[in-house]
Structure 1
Amino acid sequence: MASIKDRIRKLLGRNVKQQQTNGLASTHSNAVAQQQQPIVQHDGPSDSQQKTVQTQNREPIDDELKRVIAGLAINNNNALFLLQADARTPYYPPNPSSTGTKLSVNVSIPLGAPGSSITATIPQIAGGRIWFSIGAPLVFAVNPGPGLVEPSIFNPQDPNINTNFGFSEFTFNSSQLFVNISYVDFVGPPIALTLTDTSNATQHVSGMPANGLQTVANALVAQTQKDTRRWSSLIVNTSSGSNAAQLLRILSPNSGILLNPTWFQPYWQPYVDQVYTHYTSQPLTVNTQASFGNVSGEVNSQSNSLNLGAGGMFQKPTAADIFGCNTGPFATGQNSETNTIIPRLAAAFNRSTLLLTNSIPDGEQVSQYYTNPITNHYARIVHAANLDGKGYAFPYDDVVPDGGVPQEGALFSYSPALLTVAVGGNGAYAA
């Protein structure tokens, strides 16, 4: 999430004319039948703070699919917001006296039978998510604050743990709409995005095809057979009664480590040692892509610390540091220059490009990503499974050279007219 927030702040900081948005989000879904046609009509704004859209489902559905829309209402003091099941009425949960308090209203929006339409009225939202669940509605709760208790893949007691679900993240304000698909925590149902602006220009992120989850699983098994690491352990299956186990979701390495701290523990050490030895005799240059410009430095004589001057000292990272991008040398703090270096250094480790160029990210090319035998194979496999190769596979996957090809699967517009979020995989296309 840190990377996504950083990207939003960067976009908002650009010197452009801000325009009032004319629409927000619509969803088209056919998750189990695995067929998808994002045919959606926009009804137009209801006022300057809320937008209405119409959702049409044009394909057969073999299992129930629902959605939940949640975020912080920007024009209501950032109050916790959910949309009620009628897809029109806002719900602002009161501050409860105890943790795990159940919601007092139904916020699970059914997407309806083939050919049906749903009009949703959504206010401007920060930190928004459009959740999708297949076969069962998602269960949410509220903690004192109020704070939303979202579905968790980490808590085996979570009521949603055996539900097939996923989400798309977005921020929608008076300046822009920013939306992305994310695999930072796990891979779930295929999600595709199409964003049309007021000039009728269209952006698209294709996501995975209908068999994308199985494709990722197969590739992880093959990688484990090749290097004996825990890649196949990231696959999560479920079973119901006497039914055979079914593929439910795939964890990211960071999520796997959070659940099982010993996984991948020694995995990165040979590569990290090579990198730190390499830069004892030559400098590494990091383009901060900010006011600090290019920052250069070398590893000390003990080969255990990269000295980037005012940008900070970076000790050797562990597997948890590299996959998670937020601990050890990659933990952000008060030094703004350090905080601009962290994403670029963390991304170079995940993509294993530090022995291929001494200038990051400017010296890197997409074709060089993940080519070292020791790399983030989850990210490599996830990108390969996406029809256009795009989607957040780790927290700093939005780092690219100046003028480079984006990898993160994000869309944004300062004058959005319509966002279509399609679930299921068939019908998604490579832009």
Structure 2
Amino acid sequence: MATLNFALVNTTGSNTVYAYVTGRAIDNNNALFLLGADGKTAYYPTSPSATLTGLSQDCAIPLGASGSTKTVTIPHIAGGRIWFARDGKLTFYLNPGPNLVEPSASNPSDANYNVYWDFCEFTWNSSQLYVNISDVDFVSLPIAIALTNTSGTTSSVQGLPSNGLTTVCNALKAQNAKDGAGWDQLVIAKNGTNIRAVSPNLGIVLNNSLFSSYYTAYVNQVWSKYASTTLTVNTQAAAGNVTATVSNGTLNFSGGISYAKPSTGDIFSNSSGAFAVSGNATKDAITARLAAAFNRSTLLINTNQPNGEVVSNYYQNAITNHYARICHATTINGRGYAFPYDDVSPNGGVDQSGSVYDANPKLLTVTVGGGSTSTVAEDVVSRPSAAPPVPKRPSAAPPVPKKPGHLGGLKKVWHKFSRSG
């Protein structure tokens, strides 16, 4: 069975950091997989008879003192996550299936809610290793990734600096002082210490009145603009460029594709109402680009989406996804998934998503706690045109015992995976 080494580096300043590796074992009929505490032994749970059954094996991998590296070995995995917890352990449960009940950042009754934890995502199959850091749900522990291939070339995403969470939380509070929209409510603290900053979408899960009409004025401006101006969307797929105008209150594209005005919740989640996945490949490609343009607030200044975009134009409107803006401004090289369609970019444009991938991986280095994993300047990375992104679903965070519904997914179609549960 094929295996690959991951080097897990602790730079948190704490000597008590644990890692967990979860996913589906591709070479074992996609069985639910967790890595044992030794970092080498596979654990395949059996289906329990009741919900919220504890794991029968210890899967907390100690990383050792700050500054040390723990090397773990994994098989081919789909829908993988590498979880980190500082100054405490995470609690995972099993539901019948077996399905894994993962920690939730938006359920205050979850056993892990007040633990300082975070994760990165990966899929390793016979085609490639794909890894990304994700701010779609929240930011907490800084995580950086560096992927070295068999030719010795390394690509990396630097992630947040060591003080990144403090910087993000302070910036959210400062933004709220400007507009009073509720950005400070995205800061989650325990005993006066920040443990995470959640995305607007998860903020709405925690408080359903938050941001209730935040985007309304901007959406109205967009609809007014395209009542007399043509919007062009490059699907970056077989449909090529498609055009639309607003009539009778609806944004109408050729081929019978149309959009009602999206709500603030639609824009932040990228997955409800006007922006729900339709199953129509062309519409879903348009949706990805519209959702990205709304989160970045570029529709009033650019009628050609996403081509014609430049990063300096993102988040310049007073009404925008300030969480995404702040996350990108805080990461060392500006890259990270700050909303589900953050991998949308112009053809040949600068990639915003915090991902690395290679068909010939040799070693993945994951650093938790801040600090560069590589000197490679990844801020100039560009991506060619490709199939439309598959959304990275933010956690719906239903109450325990049901598992939080982070499905995951990435720009290239073959990166899509299903979460257990």
Question: What range is the shorter-chain TM-score in?
Answer: 0.7 to 0.9
1:337 corresponds to 2:282: yes
Give the corresponding residue for 1:195.
147
Tell me how far apart the structure 1 counterparts of residues 331 and 66 of structure 2 sit (CA, whole Å): 26
Deviations 1:62-110 (A, max 9, x none): 3410000000000111100000101111101101111111100000000
3-state SS of paired residue (1:332): coil
Q: Relative to 1, partners in 2 of residues 1:379 and 1:137: Cα closer, same or farther, differing over 3 Å? A: same
Alignment partners' CA distance in 2, 1:216 and 1:172:
31
- C-alpha offsets along residues 231-260 of structure 1, whole Å, 9 cap, x if unaligned? 011000002xxxxx2111001000001121
Partners of 1:337 and 1:269 lie apart in 2 by: 26
Amino acid at match of 1:297: A
Are 1:270 and 2:222 an aligned pair? no
Superposed, 1:10-409 pairs within 5 Å as: 23-31=4-12, 33=13, 62-113=14-65, 118-239=70-191, 245-300=192-247, 302=248, 304-310=249-255, 312-409=257-354
Tell me the secondary structure at the aligned position of residue 23 of structure 1: strand
In the alignment, residue 237 of structure 1 is paired with which amino acid?
A
TM-score by length of 1: 0.85
Partner amino acid for 2:196? R
CA distance in 2, matches of 1:75, 1:161: 33
Secondary structure of 2:78's aligned partner = strand
Q: Which runs of 5+ in 1 are unaligned?
A: 1-19, 34-61, 240-244
| Count of aligned pairs | 376
Q: Which letter does structure 2 place at the counterpart of 1:29?
A: N
Alpha-carbon displacement from aligned partner over 1:305-338 (angstroms, at most 9, x marks no partner) = 1011226111101111000000011101231211
The Cα of 1:425 is off from its aligned counterpart by 1.1
1:156 and 1:22, CA in 2 relative to 1: closer, same or farther beyond 3 A? closer
- CA distance in 2 between counterparts of 1:413 and 1:311 reads 39
Q: What letter corresponds to residue 118 of structure 2 in structure 1?
A: G
* CA deviation after TM superposition for structure 1 residue 117, in Å: 5.5
Secondary structure of the residue aligned to 2:237 is: coil
How far is the alpha carbon of 1:430 from its aligned partner? 7.1
Corresponding letter in the other structure for 1:177: L
CA contact (8 A) 2:158 2:371 kept: no
RMSD: 1.6
**C-alpha contact (below 8 Å) 2:335/2:352 kept by paired residues:** yes
Q: Tell me: CA distance 1:205–1:286, structure 2 relative to 1, closer, same or farther (3 Å).
A: same
Identity of aligned residues (%): 52
Residues 205, 409 of structure 1: 8 Å contact kept: yes
Q: Deviations over 1:112-147 (max 9, x none)?
A: 236766442211000000000001111000111111
Task: Supply the distance in 2 between the matched residues of 1:389 and 1:334 (Cα, whole angstroms).
Answer: 32
1:323 alignment partner, SS class: helix
